[in-house]
Chains A and B, each alone.
Chain A
Amino acid sequence: MLKFILKRLGLALLVALTVSFISFTLLFLSGDPAASLAGESATDQDVAAIRELYGFDRPMLVQYSSWLMDALRGDFGESYYFKLPVASLLAERLQVTMLLGLCGISFALLTAVPLGVLAAIRPNSIIDRFALFLSVAGQALPSFWFGLILIVAFSIKLQWLPASGTATWKHFIMPTVVLGYYAMPAIMRLTRGGMLEVLSSDYIRTARAKGASEGRVMFKHALRNAIIPVVSLAAVQMGFMLGGSIVVESIFALHGAGYLAWESISRNDLPTVQALILVFSMFYIVFTFLADVLNAWLDPRMRTG
C-alpha cells in the first residue's frame, strides 16, 4: 500500500511539473506584457520603461526555472496588475471558489444520489426515466445560459434572490445550482449503476433471504457499497468543477479565483494566470490522488496496477 501511494505520488508530482511547464510555455508566447502593464493611456516611453524594469528579455528557460523555484516556496511573484503578491491574491480569492465548489458538489450529491438510488430501486419506472432524461438533458444545458435564465427569473421577475455578490447565503443559491447541476448526471449514473450491480449481487440476496428489512438492505448494505466509487467520483468532479467556475463566477460577479483567471487573461497578467492554471491543476491532481488512494485502500486489486 505504501509502495502504491509513493508511486502514485511520484506520478502526481510529474504531472504537476509537466502542466506547469506547458502553461508557462503557452503564456510565454503571449506577447509583450509591458503594453498591458502600462495601461490603455500610456505613451510609448511608459511601455519601454516598464519592459526594462521587469526584464522580459531574458531567455524562456531562465524565466521558467526561476519562476518554478519561487513557486515551490509558495511565491508566485507579484501580479502585474494589482502589484500585490499573487499568493495572497489567490489565498483571498480561492476562499470564495472553494466555498462555491463545496456548495456545488454538496448540491450535486444531495440531489443526484437519492435520484440514482430511487432510479435503481425501480428500474424503468417513471422516476428512472425522469432521472435518465435529467442526466442527458443536464449535460446539454449550456451553463452560462442556465445562469442567465435563473437571473432573469429569480432576480428580475420574482426578485427573490440577489443577482451578484457574496454577502449572504442567498447570494450562493443560484451559483451553487448552476455549478452543481453539471456534476449531477455523472454522479447519478454512477449511483444508479452501482446500486443495480450491488442489488443483483449474491451478497444482497443473502441479506434478503436472511429476512433483513428492505430499508435495511438498501441503506445498510447496498448503498454503503455503491457509494464508495461515488465518493471518489465526487472528488474528481470537484476538481473539474473548480476549473469550470470561471463562467459561474463571471455571471454572478463572484470575486473568486475563476473570475480572477478570466480577468487576468484579458489583462495579460501573466504571473496570476500561470499561478491559477497551476493551482486549478493541483486541485485536480490532489483530488484524483486522494480518490485513487481511497480506491486502493478499499479495493486491494487496484494496488497492483
Chain B
Amino acid sequence: MTLNVLKSTAAVLAMTVAGAAYADKASDTLKVAFTKELENVDSYFNSSREGVVLQRAVWDGLIYRDPETNEYMGNLATEWTWIDDVTLELKLRDDVTFHNGEAFNADDVVYTVNFVADEQNGAKTQRNVNWMKSAEKVDDYTVRIILKEPFPAAIEFLSGPVSMYPDEYYAEAGPTGMGLKPVGTGPYKVIEVTPGQHFVLEKYEGYHDSPKGQPTIGKIDIRTIPDVNTQLAEMFNGELDLIWQVPADQAEKMSELDQFNVLNESTMRIGYLTLDAAGRTGADNPFTKQKVRQAVAHAIDSQTLVDALLKGESKVVKSACFPSQFGCEQDVMTYDYDPEKAKALLAEAGYPDGFTTGFYAYRDRDYAEAIANFMNAVGIKTEFNMLQYSALRELRASEGTPVSFQTWGSYSINDTSAITSQFFKFGDLDDARDPEVRDALAIADSSTDPAVRTENYSKALKRIAEQAYWVPMFSYNTNYVFNNDVSYTPTPDEVLRFTTMTWN
C-alpha cells in the first residue's frame, strides 16, 4: 500500500511537471462530465443513460433511427426483410472493420445475438434482448434473427440498444474485458477506461459511411463528477466544455452568462403520483375512496410546478402516458387546481379534518417536497420518505405505498404499451388493480389493428383518469450547457451524440 501511495505521489508530481492537459479547442479535446458512475462500459451490462451515450459512440447497431425524422436507415445492415412473423433477414455491409482490426461479418452478428439473448449470460436489461431467440448465418454477409414470438418493436430495438460486438474478441474478453477495453465499430474508439471515473474516446479514422455521420472532434474526455455545482465550477474555469441534465434553476442562471449556451429538450419521462386505490396498505386506507383520490388531483397545481420548478420544454400532463405516445388519449377527465374543492371532496369522503399519510419518493427531492406541501395545504398531512429507488421499488412490490411520487421514461418508446400497460396489468407495481383497465390494455397490447389499439387504450386511460388512480403532473426536460467553442443540437431522446458535435 505504501508503495502504491508513493507511486501515485510520484505520478502526481510528474504530471505537474509535465503540465496539465487543458481542455480546449486548441488541443481538439472535448471535456464532458458524467453525473453517475458507469458500472461497465459494455452496453449490455449497464442500465444508465451514461451507458447509452457511450454505446452510441463506440458501437453501431444493424439499423439506425434518425432522431429527427424517426425514419429507419441501414447502419451495419444495408437492407432487411421479414421472412415470416418471427424471422428477420438482414444484408450486412462488407466494408466495416472493428477498432481492433477485426473485419465485421455475419459471424459477429450471430455471436453477439446468441450471447446476449441467452438469459444465462445475464445481460442487465433483459427487456432489450429477450425478444430474440437466436441468430443464424446465411452467408458471410447475410444473417437471420429469429424471434421468440411476433414483436412489432423489433426494428426499434435493433436500432437502439442492440449493438454488434466482435465475435473473436468478445468470446475471449467477455463483458468484464469488454468493459475495460471496449472494441466496436462506432465513430469513436475507447483509448482509456478507469472504471466509473474516466473515459477517453478518440475519433475512429476508419469509420464507415454511417447515417450517424463522421466524427469531427478528435478526442472526448469524460470524467464522472457527481455534484452539479462542481460541474458548473469546472465549466467556469474551463476544465469542462459540456454538461447535460443540468437542473432548471442552474441552467437558467448559466444562460444569463455570455460564455455559455444553454439548450433545453423535452424527454418522454413523466412525473405522476400513484395512489393506493386497491387498499394494499390497508383496506381502510383513505385512497381507496375515489373522492379522496380526486381531492389529491385537485390539490396539486401542476401548472405552477411546471412554470416554477421544471421550466423549459416541460408540459402539464393529464393522461397516464406521454402525449406523443401512440394511443395516449388526451380527451380524459381533468382536474383543475382547486384547493377548496379538494377540501370539500375530502369532507364528502368523511375526512373533514384531513388525515395523515405516508408519502414516498425516490428522486427530485425538491419537486417531491413541493408536491407534498400542496397536499399538506388541503389537510392531507404527509410523512415524507425519500428512499433509494431499489428500496422503494421493493416496498411498492411487497406491501404497496399510500402515495408515491414516481416517474417513468418509457425507454423512449413512443407507444402507450411502454408505460400504461407496464403498471395497470396487475403486476407488482399496480396500485389500482382494476380488471376493467387490465382487460382493455390486454386487448390493445396484443392487437395489430391500430384502430382497435387506439380504442382500447382510450378506454383504459379514460377509466384511469376518471378514477384518479394516478395523478399525472408533468413531463420532464433536459438542459444541455456548453461553452461557446462547441456547437451541438440535442435530440429529444436524451442521448449525447458526440458525432454531431463540432468546434465553432
Contacts and interface: CB of A to CB of B under 8 A. Distances in A.
Interface of A: 31-33, 35-36, 38-47, 49-50, 53, 79, 81-84, 89, 91-92, 94-96, 98-99, 102, 148, 151, 155-156, 159, 162-170, 172, 250-253, 255, 259, 263, 266-268
Nearest to B47: A39
Given A46-B125, A49-B119, A169 B12 contact: yes
A252 B239 CA distance: 14
Interface in B217-236: 223-227, 229-230, 233-234, 236
A253 B20 contact: no
B83 interface: no
10 nearest A-B pairs in the assembled complex, by CB-CB distance: A39-B47, A36-B390, A163-B233, A35-B390, A255-B197, A253-B225, A164-B230, A81-B39, A95-B8, A98-B5
18 contacts: A31-B391, A33-B390, A36-B390, A36-B391, A38-B124, A40-B47, A41-B125, A41-B127, A46-B126, A83-B39, A83-B176, A98-B1, A163-B239, A164-B239, A165-B225, A250-B227, A251-B227, A259-B226
B124 A39 contact: yes
Contacts of B227: 164, 250-251, 253
B393 interface: yes
Nearest to A269: B39
Given A35-B391, A162-B237, 4 more contacts: A43-B127, A83-B40, A99-B5, A167-B15
Contact of A94 (B1, B48, B223, B394): B1
B45 A83 contact: yes
Contact of A41 (B1, B20, B47, B236): B47
Nearest to B363: A40
Given A35-B390, A49-B119, A164 B234 contact: yes
Given A83-B40, A168-B16, A168-B20, A44 B47 contact: no
A252 B226 CA distance: 9
Contacts of B16: 168-170
Contacts of B391: 31, 35-36, 268
Interface string B1-16: 1001101110011011
Contact of B428 (A44, A148, A250, A259): A44
Contacts of A42: 47, 124-127
B236 A156 contact: yes
Contact of B175 (A79, A83, A92): A83
B493 to A, nearest CB: 14
Contacts of B20: 167-168
A253 B224 contact: yes
B234 A49 contact: no
Contacts of B384: none
Nearest to A44: B428
A95 B3 CA distance: 10
B427 interface: yes
Contacts of B46: 39
B397 to A, nearest CB: 7
Residue from the set B40, B223, B233 with the largest chain A CB neighbour count within 10 Å: B233
B504 to A, nearest CB: 23
B1 A168 contact: no
B150 interface: no
Interface string B37-81: 101100001111000000000000000000000000000000000
Given A44-B427, A169-B12, A255-B197, A91 B394 contact: no
B122 interface: yes
B127 A95 contact: no
Nearest to A170: B16
A119 B39 CA distance: 51
A289 B237 CA distance: 45
A83 B179 contact: yes
A94 B7 CA distance: 13
B237 A155 contact: yes
B1 A31 contact: no
B411 interface: yes
A163 B230 contact: yes
Nearest to B197: A255
A242 to B, nearest CB: 12
B230 A41 contact: no
A27 to B, nearest CB: 13
Interface in B322-348: none
Contacts of B195: 82, 84, 89
A181 to B, nearest CB: 20
A177 B239 CA distance: 22
B428 A172 contact: no
B151 interface: no
Contacts of B388: 36, 266-268
Contacts of A164: 223, 225, 227, 230, 233-234, 239
Contacts of B223: 164-165, 253
A224 B259 CA distance: 56
Given A162-B239, A168-B16, A255-B197, A36 B233 contact: no
B15 A95 contact: no
Residue from the set B127, B388, B390 with the largest chain A CB neighbour count within 10 Å: B390
Given A98-B1, A163-B233, A168-B16, A263 B37 contact: yes
A84 B237 contact: no
Nearest to A32: B394
B82 interface: no
Interface string B405-437: 000010100000000001000011100000000
Contact of A268 (B4, B122, B224, B390): B390
A94 B1 CA distance: 9
B101 interface: no
A21 B230 CA distance: 37
A82 B224 CA distance: 15
A224 B12 CA distance: 33
B196 interface: yes
Contacts of B230: 151, 163-164, 251-253
Given A40-B47, A83-B179, A255 B196 contact: yes
A148 B228 CA distance: 12
A101 to B, nearest CB: 9
Contacts of B355: none
Nearest to B18: A168
Contacts of B40: 82-83
Nearest to B237: A159
Contact of B13 (A43, A47, A169): A169
Residue from the set A50, A96, A251, A253 with the largest chain B CB neighbour count within 10 Å: A253
A40 B389 contact: yes
Contacts of A250: 226-227
A41 B179 CA distance: 20
B406 to A, nearest CB: 11
A36 B15 contact: no
Contact of A32 (B125, B234, B390, B409): B390
Given A36-B389, A268-B388, A268-B390, A84 B176 contact: yes
Contact of A35 (B7, B125, B237, B393): B393
Given A91-B4, A165-B223, A45 B233 contact: no
Contacts of B390: 31-33, 35-36, 268
A282 B411 CA distance: 44
